[in-house]
Amino acid sequence: MKNEVQVKGKFHYRLIGWKYSIWVRLLLFLLLALIFYMSLYVKLVPQVYDIQLGAVSEKTIYAPRQIENAVATEQAKEDAAKRVQPVYRVVNLKNDALIDAIYDKLLQINVDEEVKFDDKVSIYRRVIPQLISELENQSVKTLRNSGQYNDSLLEQIQQGLAEQQYQLPEEAFFKLPRLTKEDLTAMLPVTKDIVSKLMNDQILDAQTARAKVAELVNTSNLTKNTSRELVTEIVRAVITPNKFFDQKGTDDARGQARESVKPVYINKNDVLVNVGDVITEEIYARLDNLELLKDKANHLPQLGLAILAALLSFVVFMFVRQSTLPITYNNSQLVMLILIFLINVAGMKIISLGQNMDYPYIGYLAPMALGSILITILLDAPLAFISSVLFSLMASIIFNTEHMLLFDFRYGLVSLVICFVAVFTIQRASQRATILKAGLMISFFSMLTITAMMLMEDQFSQKEAIMSLSFAAAGGLLTVVFVIGLLPFFEVAFGILSPLKLVELSNPNHPLLRKLLTETPGTYHHSVMVGNLSEAAAESIGADGLLCRVGSYYHDIGKTKRPSYFIENQTNIENPHDRIDPNLSKSIIVAHPRDGVEMLKDFKMPKPIRDIAEQHHGTTLLHFFYHKAVKQAEEEGADNGIREEDFRYPGPKAQSKEAAIVGIADSVEAAVRSLRNPTLEQIDSMVHKIIKSRLDDGQFNECDLTLKELDTIAKTLNETLLGIFHSRIEYPSELASKKTGT
């Protein structure tokens, strides 16, 4: 095969290029060492500057640790006061009393037959607005007497009530006198109910609440249009604002905000001097206090850091070199590993920027187990354990706040514990909920480890304990967020088919599986059975059982293009192959792997799934149609030029254990299903016959299945079939009974 080569005795082929170049591999490990060096440089190499008083700075100087900034503190207080939102107070204005007063007045006047209609109209035109004003004034007076409200707020309340008072329309005064006692009795509870609902909300603008009245009235039990119309107007008149601006409360809140502002510090890594700034006495003194002024720089720490970075990279190199994983020779996976290292270290570096006097324990917030989880899911658990040790070592340096020590064992220990816990929790993840479980476990064990250290030191304050445990708890959740966000990127960018992705693809609601179920139910059932068989067989030899199961679900998806030409879908219909030429039948049958691959490509299915669909038949012979063609040629007296090669699947042969196992399970399931009442001996014979036939046909020549593994697969398939077809299997004792007639 062009541009392909077999590597380390394995039976699969790989393209020659940068992915397998030893020089690219060397550069990648050098890049990893550079990442280690740069990420630890600030912590392990003291930064000093040759600065003269009155000179112009030639570079930007950053603070190596925290120092107070009085000017910025005052500005922060002003900013805090500006950020305070206006304070509003919600008051109870006793709108129910106003409703009762209005309805009492209506009932009193309407039942008085001596009062003329025009007089009633005039009375209502004068009395109702007066009732509203009086009740509002009484409410304000009650609030003033309570002593809970300041004068400026009471003035705002009175002004707001006056400005937003509702004026009843003139036609309402002519309709009110016509209301009967029964009408008023029906209207009163509806009015109270609607006003109660609306006034339960905080109302700053009464007009907004009044706009909702008509809808609420229309859904009430009032049947008369006049009653509905007048209830609408009365409710609008009763509705008032109940939320008012409190100037004094706002001023007090802003004062408290100013007082609550803590001193502002020039944090670590903040700019002290910009390029081109003149070094004033204040700046010079600040640099001197931070020990940034020295005559000579010491280069020995750089050399020590370079050696340390080389050692860390060498540890990864030696483990990868001795591994049996594809990362041993696949530079693409090595790039992914380095990218995970970079992301994990970047996360720790970003969190370390927030370390200061107020939050010295913010390092526990860092997603230190992020890299371990990603490596476990995407690469390998043992590699994740080695990486966890390196992450822990780097965390103890990055989050070290003790200038006299190179390492802070607290962060290293916590990181080591949570990384190991994450690997143990996630290594057999089969659904994304497991990631959340891992996050909770990270939070719990991080808090547990911190608690243990604090109890042993016995020199911690309540504030330190609360901060440390809070950051630790949040760190586990932050790790979950980043893992869930980054995992799809790695799966797509590097073509990784993780267990979590496989579980998603196994969802019966996937469009292709729904298509398979609705259009070819027989093939769907066959695929599910093949999935059960292949998963058990794969797990028995240490192959990827989940990949086999999901690959089995999709391996015959190509049959949906011509479902009636496959026997499992020929329920109560004539076999169309009986009426067509065997060459045409052969073309239809062998096309389903190719059709399946095209359909899977259209749905952007991962390559391992497509490979199983393409390779599960390998280059096996279609015995039935081959012999049918030979027999037909003999009957027609034609020259028997029929070749076996013309009746074989196009292949390729299985390139992986998983593809080979699915192919075996596919043939075994179809063969056993054809037996009406299978016996244990028939099943065992059938399984071994199929495996031997494929072995003799060279179908396993390009995958790394051994004879021992094939024997294990056969035993596992027998056991699984025994469970699946248990009720149909005839046992030897039953056969003997039939023969003896007992």
The 3-class SS string of 69-95 reads CHHHHHHHHHHHHHHCCCCEEECCCCH
Instruction: Let me know: does 108 contact 177? Beta carbons within 8 Å.
Output: no
One domain, residues 419 and 489: yes
One domain, residues 460 and 565: no
3-class DSSP state of 49: strand
Of 184, 211, 245, the residue at which a domain comes to its end is: 245
**pLDDT tens per residue, range 694-742:** 999 999 998 888 999 999 999 999 988 887 765 444 444 444 433 333 3
Whether 402 is covered by a domain: the verdict is yes
pLDDT value at residue 358: 64
| Residue 691: closest CA among 651, 726, 654 | 654
* Distance, CA of 461 to chain centre: 36
pLDDT value at residue 241: 84
One domain, residues 479 and 573: no
One domain, residues 649 and 733: yes
Whether 285 is covered by a domain: the verdict is no
One domain, residues 207 and 319: no
pLDDT value at residue 423: 92
CATH of the domain at 540: 1.10.3210
One domain, residues 377 and 487: yes
pLDDT value at residue 357: 58
Tell whether pTM > 0.75.
Answer: no
Low-confidence ranges of the chain (pLDDT < 70): 1-16, 46, 64-71, 267-269, 289-291, 294-298, 356-359, 402-404, 428-432, 569, 637-641, 725-742
- β-strand partners of 89: 244
User: Which residues form the domain of 222?
Assistant: 88-245
One domain, residues 584 and 525: yes
Of 472, 500, 528, the residue at which a domain comes to its end is: 500
- β-strand partners of 293: 49
One domain, residues 548 and 405: no
Task: Name the CA dihedral angle for 18, 22, 24, 27, rounded to a multiple of 10 degrees.
Answer: 170
Whether 163 is covered by a domain: the verdict is yes
pLDDT value at residue 446: 93
Whether 71 is covered by a domain: the verdict is no
Whether 666 is covered by a domain: the verdict is yes
Whether 271 is covered by a domain: the verdict is no
> 635 to each of 585, 631, 632, 647, how far by Cα in Å?
19, 6, 5, 19
One domain, residues 176 and 204: yes
Distance between CA atoms of residues 552 and 533, nearest Å: 9
One domain, residues 455 and 550: no
Whether 651 is covered by a domain: the verdict is yes
Domain count, the chain: 3
DSSP 605-673: --HHHHHHHHHTTTT-B-HHHHHHHHHHHHHTT------GGGGB---PPP-SHHHHHHHHHHHHHHHHH
pLDDT value at residue 65: 63
- The amino acid at residue 179 is L
One domain, residues 445 and 473: yes
Q: 92: exposed, middle or buried (C-beta count within 10 Å: 0-12, 13-18, 19+)?
A: exposed
Of 181, 216, 245, the residue at which a domain comes to its end is: 245
- β-strand partners of 67: 266
pLDDT value at residue 308: 92
DSSP 277-312: -B--HHHHHHHHHTT-B-SS---HHHHHHHHHHHHH
**pLDDT tens per residue, range 615-654:** 999 999 888 888 888 887 777 766 566 788 888 898 899 9
Whether 63 is covered by a domain: the verdict is no
One domain, residues 536 and 426: no
